[in-house]
Amino acid sequence: MDLPAIFQNLAESLDANVLQEQRYLLLLDGLKTTILISIGAIALGSLLGGVICRMRMARRLGVVVPAKIYIGIIRGIPLPVMLLLAYYVVFASVNISPVWVAIAAFAATFAAYAAEIYRAGIESIDSGQREAGLALGFTRVQTFTHIIAPQAVCRILPVYKGEVINLVKMTSVVGFIAVQDLTRTADIIRSRTFDAFFPLVLVAVLYFMISWLLLMTLTALEKRLQPRRSRQRSAGHD
Amino acid sequence: MIDIQNLTMHFGDDRVLEGVSASIPEGEVVSVIGPSGAGKSTFLRCINRLETPQSGHIFIGGEDILAPGADVPRIRRKTGMVFQSFNLFDHLTVLDNLILGPVRILNEAREVAEARGHELLRMVGLGEKALSLPCELSGGQKQRVAIARCLSMRPKVMLFDEPTSALDPTMVSEVLAVIRRLTREGMTMVIVTHELNFARDVSNRIFYMDEGGIYESGPPDQIMRAPQREKTRVFINRLRSFRYRIEHKDFDVFEMNADIETFCEKHFFRRKLMQHIQLAIEESLSLYFLRGNPGAITLTLSYSETEGTVQLLFEDQEASGDFLKAAEAGDELALTILKGIVHDIVWQPTPKGNRIVMTLNETS
């Protein structure tokens, strides 16, 4: 007897929070912004992280020290503060969309963490692997790309996955610089409909789904990269 | 094939190699032996420049790998190195380990490289393991794959860095058998090893390394049976020694006995042998002290693992003539006791004093 009532409530909430005034478009926009910032920051940050990691692992002190300072500073500043600094100080005089400022700030942060994750992964590979590669006649770069990197990736991915999810969730603070992301949208809807429960739970579910999809993608990649006994071509014979 | 000139390598203050020169012609098999820390591995790793020495030249097939601006990866390809810890590429199957180099460096077609890979694996007796991962192999199998991987690059020289040191005793022979097979095929090889018997069997020349260089080198029979220099002899006969300096007649006999006991226990001497050693020392010293103060005496106790004998050596700096004879004439009790426990006893004059050498058998 109560069930229909609950369903009816839900349907009403759905109608009020999502359908009325085409709020689903607003939500969709927020979702897009969140995804854009996340993917952009992850892609840029991963690349920048590679550069920082390379610097951090260099032999010349003049290269290592800047990398160390960068990592140290970034890790010591809360992300929302970074974001505000980027928006109101670094890019204050530049006319640029706050979405790009957000991507830049998140990428810079992600890079510092990624660099340390990469370094841990690379340093965990036994130096014998490098020596064996060099002894065979590979150059240093070839040794890295053919021997060290494939093994390091397998060890990096589990930690990297966690960092990626972390970033997606941290993008929820971009509202500070007036970017309408998923969280901000939920907040706007809430202020219009005075319903806190439905929009917030809906957004929580959406965040969970983005994280889950990313996690699945990276896990699939991780599985693909695991050393396998037989390669696909010879799978039938073994 | 390999020409090493004046190689000098320091790790900080540690002078590992000091002006080492050697020449290894094509087809020669050289074993490098010596105590740990003598620079054997460093010497080997300089040959393919995994270590860069401070100075010197190493010509491999006429090209100096240590020259500034040398194309190190290209010259390195003339050598293959087998490591103590195998260092197989853990993320690749056995076959992929073998073809990575030929395909990526030598630009061989994958099919050609795979065919040769299979052939090499059969040669080392692992034809059926082509698709296994390194973690699925035993130590001996891994090392044989490592050897095959080197051969896949068609090197002119093979360098072995203690190839059997990380293996179970049961797996040593399978690896040595593969190396033996390579010697039959005329491969130039430098082998750093602790397997003295293997070194004797397989090599044309042995380098004994000590004191920052090649301390003694020669054909295996000479090095193993009749080493010319002191440290080589000590190493080959696996001599263990203990030295104690007696400064005065009233020296600390308890300390000396305790030290001797420690030495004996470390080498698993039987209790009776230890007692004989202590008794022999006591009686010898009493012979010394009977004749007044002899000054400082150096006592050396050395044990040869291969011969199973213990040698006691007393050296002093007092010119006093053959006092064993004197003791015999005086019918000293100490000498009688000594003769009862030692295998033989000899007096030798030295430029400054006397030397008494006595031998005890492990089984006595």
Question: Is residue A196 classed as helix, strand or coil in its secondary structure?
Answer: coil
Name A170's Cβ contacts closer than 8 Å, sequence gap at least 6.
A79, A106
| pLDDT score recorded for residue A235 | 40
In a domain, A1, yes or no: no
Collect all residues of chain A within an 8 Å Cβ-Cβ radius of residue B145.
none
For residue A137, give the nearest of B89, B93, B101 by CB distance.
B101
Extended beta strands in B133-204, E state: 157-161, 188-192
List the structure tokens of B212.
């920052």
In a domain, A152, yes or no: yes
| pLDDT score recorded for residue A233 | 44
Tens of pLDDT, residue by residue over B171-189, are 888 999 999 999 888 899 9
Dist CA A175 CA A167 (whole Å)? 15
Dist CA A47 CA A43 (whole Å)? 6
Chain A interface residues facing chain B, Cβ-Cβ under 8 Å? 126, 128-129, 131-139, 142, 146-147, 150-151, 154, 227-231, 234, 238
Angstroms from A38 CA to nearest CA on chain B: 31
Q: Which of A20-29, B187-196, B224-233, B252-261 has the lowest mean pLDDT?
A: A20-29
Q: Give the range of the structural domain holding residue A27, as residue numbers without chain letter.
A: 14-228
Domains and CATH numbers, chain B: 2-236 (3.40.50.300), 239-361 (3.30.565.10)
Dist CA B139 CA A160 (whole Å)? 33
DSSP B186: T
Dist CA A75 CA B90 (whole Å)? 34
Which CATH number goes with the domain that contains A33?
1.10.3720.10
In a domain, A65, yes or no: yes
In a domain, A27, yes or no: yes
- Provide the whole-model pTM: 0.76
User: Predicted confidence band at B364 (pLDDT cuts at 50, 70, 90)?
Assistant: low
Contact between B147 and B179 (Cβ < 8 Å): yes
Q: Does position B342 have pLDDT exceeding 90, yes or no?
A: no
pLDDT along chain A (238 residues), means of 10: 73 75 82 93 96 94 94 93 91 88 94 95 93 93 93 92 92 87 86 84 91 92 77 42
In a domain, A221, yes or no: yes
For residue A147, give the nearest of B80, B83, B89 by CB distance.
B89
In a domain, A8, yes or no: no
Tell me phi and psi for residue B30, to 5 degrees. Answer: -115, 130
Interface test with B, best of A127, A136, A145, A231 (most B CBs within 10 A): A136
**What's the count of helices (H) and strands (E) in chain B, helices before strands?**
13, 15
List the structure tokens of B350.
């030295």
**What's the count of helices (H) and strands (E) in chain A, helices before strands?**
10, 0
Q: Is B104 at the interface with chain A, CB within 8 A?
A: yes
Domains in chain A, number = 1
Dist CA A37 CA A104 (whole Å)? 9
**CA B39, chain centre distance (Å):** 11
For residue B76, give the nearest of A137, A231, A234 by CB distance.
A137
Name B8's Cβ contacts closer than 8 Å, sequence gap at least 6.
B15, B17, B18, B19, B20, B53, B54, B55, B56
Tens of pLDDT, residue by residue over B319-338, are 667 777 777 777 778 888 88
Which residue is associated with the tokens 């229909």? A4
List the structure tokens of B152.
């896949």
For residue A128, give the nearest of B85, B91, B132 by CB distance.
B85
Which residue is associated with the tokens 């044990």? B303
Where helices occur in B192-308 by DSSP H, the ranges are: 196-202, 220-225, 230-236, 253-266, 271-290
Name A155's Cβ contacts closer than 8 Å, sequence gap at least 6.
A120, A121, A124, A125
Average pLDDT over residues B28-49: 90
ipTM above 0.90, yes or no: no
User: Predicted confidence band at B363 (pLDDT cuts at 50, 70, 90)?
Assistant: low
Tens of pLDDT, residue by residue over A112-149, are 999 999 999 999 999 999 999 999 999 999 999 999 99
Q: Higher-confidence residue: B263 or A120?
A: A120
In a domain, A57, yes or no: yes
Which range scores top for mean pLDDT: B36-40, B131-135, B240-244, B314-318? B131-135
Collect all residues of chain A within an 8 Å Cβ-Cβ radius of residue B90.
129, 151, 227
Q: From edge to edge, which strands make up the β-sheet containing B14-24?
A: B14-24, B2-11, B55-60, B63-64
| pLDDT score recorded for residue A229 | 56
Dist CA B80 CA B97 (whole Å)? 14
Select from A19, A44, A32 the least CA-distant residue to A181: A32
Dist CA A154 CA A156 (whole Å)? 6
Dist CA B59 CA B48 (whole Å)? 10
Angstroms from B209 CA to nearest CA on chain A: 23
CB contact under 8 A, B89 and A126: no
Average pLDDT over residues B225-242: 82
In a domain, A4, yes or no: no
Angstroms from A225 CA to nearest CA on chain B: 9
Collect all residues of chain A within an 8 Å Cβ-Cβ radius of residue B44.
none
Angstroms from A55 CA to nearest CA on chain B: 23
User: Predicted confidence band at B233 (pLDDT cuts at 50, 70, 90)?
Assistant: confident
